[in-house]
A and B are shown apart, each in its own frame.
Chain A
Amino acid sequence: MTFLKKPLALAAALALACLALHPGAASAQKGETVRIAWIDPLSGLMAPIGQNQLKSFQYIAELFNRSNLAGVKFEIVPFDNKVSPAESLTALKSAIDQNIRYVTQGDGSGSAGALVDAINKNNERNPGKEVLFMNYAAVDPDLTNSKCSYWHFRLDADTSMKMEALTTYIKDQKDIHKVYIIGQNYAHGVQVAKYAKADLARKRPDIQIVGEDLHPLAKVTDFAPYVAKIKASGADTVITGNWGSDLSLLVKAANEAGLDVRFFTYYANNAGTPTALGAGAAGRVYFVGYGHPNMGGQIGKLQADFKAKFNDDFYVADIYAEFQLLSEAMAKAKSTDPNKVAAALEGLRLKSYNGDIEMRKTDHQLQQDLWISVWQKTDAKNPYSVENTGYTFAPVAHYDAYVASTPTSCQMKRPA
């Protein structure tokens, strides 16, 4: 495959070089093909999430291929990691064997952590063949704190930032008294519980944590026992970092048992979950994120076009920011070499779909605005019907980047 692509890239480069009207604007990277290894689940319980993300990546890549600042072509090479760290490493190995220099992943901080370790080692051992990791959804704060890496850039807001925003909102909800925390038993679920307790103790010490549970990741098919437990605890609010089937099935079981509590989630907008929410969850399920389905403008147009094309929702909007950042950094570095692009990405600021964003230099954590939105019927102000349910996520709070920003303990080791 590699052998076939190279002449093509060369031909494209030549063609573009000929087309360039003023020689001064032609940079070295123009016309190059940048292959990005996408390493996320395409099988198992989390497959619907992965399939949506892969489609989104291919869609946005195609969009940027029509025109981008760096004049490069992006190509997405998908690998199925079955949400497993071990499988992610196998995928990384084959990506590196195929000379792919850019890796992107998001579903699961366990896999992200394994990738960061392996990429650190690879880059140390193979100078000149560095690999750059764009993390678009794995939100364990450790990845930009104790385990921060020069080669890792995170586009989603991390657990601590999202919890900062959530608790800022919860602080003013006077009818919340008893909170139950449920999560998946791995890095992310543990971190959500930790930050929820710390932040609530700081902002609303009167709120009582009436229960806490961790369950296996992407394995549970019957959440009824957990729902019975939540019900028995007398909780009026549930905080959960669950995603994918673990959130859909939890909400489904809650609806079936008539559990009438508020859910504060990280990922209620993920593929499959909105359908599970249905009418029963209206007004009760919130999610915090770097956007919401009713932002309109440019991202709204993309959403509509995506829906027309695939009859699916484009909701992992930071993929757009990922391509913006990459192409701007490549233009700035005048190269597609990850070594130079990483340096250009540091501290990069630009205007994205959700306002001004900045790739913070100290820890490579993107700084951006956050929204909290609630599941409700579509209306004139919030017209986007999520998963064709007739319901949508309507924003209830908007926080500027600085509100939810959290400090970092990262001691970044930069290559000499």
Chain B
Amino acid sequence: MNRNDENAKPAGELEKLETLEPDLREALGNFKASVDAWSDAMMSRPREANAPARTNWSAVTKWALGCVVFAGTVSGGLYQNHKQVEAAKVEAARIAEQQRAMEAARVTNADEEDLMANVDSAVARQVPSALQPLATLMTDDEATGN
């Protein structure tokens, strides 16, 4: 109860201190009057009885469910779209690859045909006809049938 009583040193000066100057006395009187007026006004004002803010769990649940459904729909759509884009890419790559293969095959076939044609012509030039030796033995008349 009497803790900090060692702080009581200036206590003897209280009477002197409380002998207030008229100006300060008036100001303190007005201060008290203003506090009284304010307090009375606040005490007598009509107060609204605000219901304590309760958490509306059903609304929260509805919102949460709505958010989940919305997020699911959006992410599902995005996933589906992503999947389609990926599939289209794969398909395009496959077709491109197929076309490349076909092109390569076509080029290869053309080369082979050219090669075969060359070979045929070369063989035709170099290899004598099978009847050539006989033809040389035949006279021109026999050859012509005259």
B is a partner of A: no
